[in-house]
Chain A
Amino acid sequence: MNKILRNKRTGDAIFSGLFLLPIILLVGLFIVMPIIQSVIMSFQDYGARNLISGKPGTWNNFENYKSLFRSGLIANSIGITLRFVAIVVFFEFFIGIILALILNSKIKGARFLRSLMMMPWVVPTIVSALIWMWIFQPQYGVFKALVEFLSGGAVDNFAMLNNPQTALWGIILAALWKLTPLMTLLLLAGLSNISEDLLEAATIDGANKFKLFWKIILPSLKPVIKVSVLMAIIENFKQFPLFWTMTGGGPDGATETLAVLSYREAFVSFNHGSGAAVTTIWLLIMIVIVILFNMAFRED
């Protein structure tokens, strides 16, 4: 009997190994190895020359990091990235939870509204960028007309993306437009899992709407909130096409996030070492934030 069991175990192991091989190869060769390589590259002088000749990079005594800090580029990018992520995630959650509560309140046509709501989410990111650029267009844009109308004609030359003060907000709007639907959908799924009995019992006990929300709905949603907010943080940290298309990091570096900076260093200036240094710093920041986030949301 023991032998048969052991045979089954061996067979299971072979079968598992066989079926797991493709994903292990893919993740190993295309994710783990490149990450390690780019961390190594960040300590090297590695540019277009090395790419063409195939010569390995040479150790350059932290020069990539030093020059990024010396020029202030990295500090600027870290600040902008953190601001962007914090603002977008906050509003995504805020709008998302309100919308989810409304759509969950047995409103007429909720299913139809839910489908309609998801439309921006299926629009390709680059198309989202183009739609918003057209809305913000400095001469003929509809947003300029809206601002002119709302200010009673006082502001007649509003150019969202061309002004360092407002450019980031233009991209924040586009990101919110594209990403809030998914957040709402996930929160809505969480809401529909809360048992009716619990809500009813609390209402009978005299809890008003706000108490119901703080004491019952929010705590029961905690696991869903954790996942969807974490997804939003990671997603926005990685945001690239919106920035690259809408402003290219400008004007005057006002929207140059870590993603834009690393891409420009590596693929426009062809200084792969410097680009890799940016992504290494970026990776470290992300790991710290995810750890902090998980600590904050730890199950008590």
Chain B
Amino acid sequence: MNRRQFLLLATAGAIGSALGVSTLMKRAVAATPQHLFSATDNPAGGHFLTRLDISNGQMQSVAVPMRGHAVLPLADGKVLMFGRRPAFESVAVEFGEGSTTPIKAEAGRHFDGHGCLSANGDVLFTSENAYDAKRGVLGIRDSKTFQHLGEYDTHGLDPHDIHLMPDGKTLVVANGGIEQHPDFGRRKLNLDTMQPSLVYLDAATGQKIDEYRLPDHHLSIRHLLVTPTGDVGVALQYEGDLYRTQPASLVAWQASGSDLKLLDISREAIAPFNGYMADLAYDAAQDILAVTSPRGHHVTFWSVREQRFLHATPLPEPSGIAFQPEQGAFLVSDASGNLNTLSTNQQQASASLLHQFPDRLWDNHLVIS
């Protein structure tokens, strides 16, 4: 496939599309959501992609060769699991057969944990690190064959989460800003000079459309949520000295067409979250953003309308989170193997245990489809 063919593939169906991003990202999903997918480990350190039937608690786990991070169900029934950085492999899992298909990183590249599809679902974008060149890139692959087609520059280091915007034409990339090299494991090599950024790219050409930064360069921009109307929520991780300084916030929001802004929280309220936010989900009806803080052992809730922190509810190492519109509640996994349902309003949240799997350590993200 040449570049022209790829561009056609990537843009086909994008023009004029007004699909919501959830539809775009989960286009393979059945009409009635019933399965939860997440990377998991067992207590001995084995790595799996796990599928759970939410209605009856039946679980199937397929062993995979590397620790995964984010997952992405495809239209053909396969589920992609992206390797946790620095991973030289991601996998496509077929639960029916319990089989895995490896997706290898190109030479000099490793996967950074996330990926998304083009508007028509034919092209897969993955966040990757071109480590010798110290460059963040998006790998571009055929979503059926996983053949590598090319790559885009992300205009920053450490690209992590990546989403397609509702226009079907624009990619939003969280450049975490942290330099790393697989020779040095997961060590962070540039904390003094890190420069995280939120970058928008033309999905068809890779051209940079826009770039946003936060006032504190130690706030690593890591995980994103995109609403159907094109707003972007951002979960942040603080790389400064928490023992001396608390960050101004750990959550940011960019209303469509506006600037990227930190949501308000007091210094006292932010301290328990230990500078670390993981996954995020959004209840559009209440305009409430929920963000998990595994190091803070809380799920936090934020008013988007009022641009401020509301409250938090304790859970042990909460990790993946998704909003279930039908139930009007959030589903949250945690490191003790529990799946919890959280209902919230502006004042408070209540958690109830949905399923318990003591030998299952849920990883940072979950997807319901």
> A and B: real partners?
no
A positions within 8 Å CB-CB of B = none
B positions within 8 Å CB-CB of A = none
